[in-house]
Structure 1
Amino acid sequence: MVGVGYEGRDLDEFIRQLRGEGVARLVDVRLNPISRKRGFSKTALSTALADAEIAYEHMRELGNPKWNRPGFGGSPAELGAARGFYAQTLHDDHARTCLERIAFAARNQRVAVMCFEADESRCHRDLVLEAIHEQFSFAISA
């Protein structure tokens, strides 16, 4: 399993990276799978990934609420608070079901967990990957 962000990349470069890493399934953990960046909204992205033989799945249940996002780009204290809040959302039954689905898929194929942010330590997907690693003993690649 691997975490990926598309910040600062174009679609072709992003897909080349996924293929180069052997990714067979991309799980989109954005709350709203829309983007101002061409090619990264749900429909366009899922079509481009299908053309590259990579499955696409959006898991809204793992999205970070809009009001909590500024903390991920804030001071260390703000980051800690935002991470703490988001970590609690992963205990919700719907979120836990999504984590289980990702872990199940990762048993048979290489899965990438995607959001926008290039710096994974400043993105909620870091906590998604951490939860899967802790709960299901999966190795996470850098």
Structure 2
Amino acid sequence: MSMILSTIGYEAATLPEVIAKLRAAGVEVVVDVRAVAASRRAGFSKSMLRASLAVEGIGYEHLRGLGTPKPGREAARKGLIAEMEAIFAEHMATPEAQDALALATAIVRDRPAALLCFEACASGCHRRIVAEMIQETTGCEVRDL
């Protein structure tokens, strides 16, 4: 059986919808790849999200080092995806980011995981880049939920 790494964005979803998708995909741990694990969306701030996932038997790990730096988030909000990607690539060369990537990779090797971020569409989100980096190392299959 091959490893599967899921990715999910909560921009257009409620917490129950996100949890249902995670459960249906067999996800055992959510790896939060937001630089800032706070949200104005109900239920998606770090403590509440961790507690809600725990009730469902899903683990939670916040890896701030895999988050997009503020200038990258601002570029993404403006639809400047290439600029966001360049900023994120520079960030991924840092020791903090490399350590977080190593931990995320270990988690994916250990159990079914999902990378979580805000953007609904993975193609315009840095979580796609993180997923591709993990895929290169592990050979896992990536699925966008």
* Fold in common (TM above 0.5): yes
Q: Retained in 1: the 8 A contact 2:32–2:61?
A: yes
Picking from 60, 64, 85, the partner of 1:60 is 64
The separation in 2 between residues aligned to 1:70 and 1:107, in whole angstroms, is 32
Q: Retained in 2: the 8 A contact 1:28–1:57?
A: yes
1:39 aligns with 2:43: yes
Q: CA RMSD in A?
A: 1.4
Q: Report the Cα offset of residue 135 of structure 1.
A: 3.1
Q: Which residue of 2 aligns with 1:85?
A: 87
Q: Which residue of 2 aligns with 1:5?
A: 9
Q: Report the Cα offset of residue 124 of structure 1.
A: 1.1
Q: Retained in 2: the 8 A contact 1:103–1:138?
A: no
Number of residues paired by the alignment?
140
The separation in 1 between residues aligned to 2:67 and 2:6, in whole angstroms, is 17
Q: Retained in 2: the 8 A contact 1:23–1:110?
A: yes
Amino acid of the structure 2 residue aligned with 1:60:
R
Where in structure 1 are there 5+ consecutive unaligned residues?
none
Q: Which residue of 2 aligns with 1:111?
A: 113
SS in 2 for 1:69: helix
Using the size of structure 1 for normalisation, the TM-score is 0.91
Q: Report the Cα offset of residue 46 of structure 1.
A: 0.2
Q: Report the Cα offset of residue 22 of structure 1.
A: 0.2
Q: For residues 108-142 of structure 1, what are the alpha-carbon distances to aligned partners after superposition, in whole Å with 9 as ceiling and x for unaligned? A: 21110000000111111111111111233322123
SS in 1 for 2:116: strand
SS in 1 for 2:101: helix
Using the size of structure 2 for normalisation, the TM-score is 0.90
SS in 1 for 2:135: helix
Q: Retained in 2: the 8 A contact 1:72–1:82?
A: yes
The separation in 1 between residues aligned to 2:133 and 2:76, in whole angstroms, is 17
The separation in 1 between residues aligned to 2:136 and 2:38, in whole angstroms, is 30
The separation in 2 between residues aligned to 1:98 and 1:60, in whole angstroms, is 8
Q: Retained in 2: the 8 A contact 1:24–1:54?
A: yes
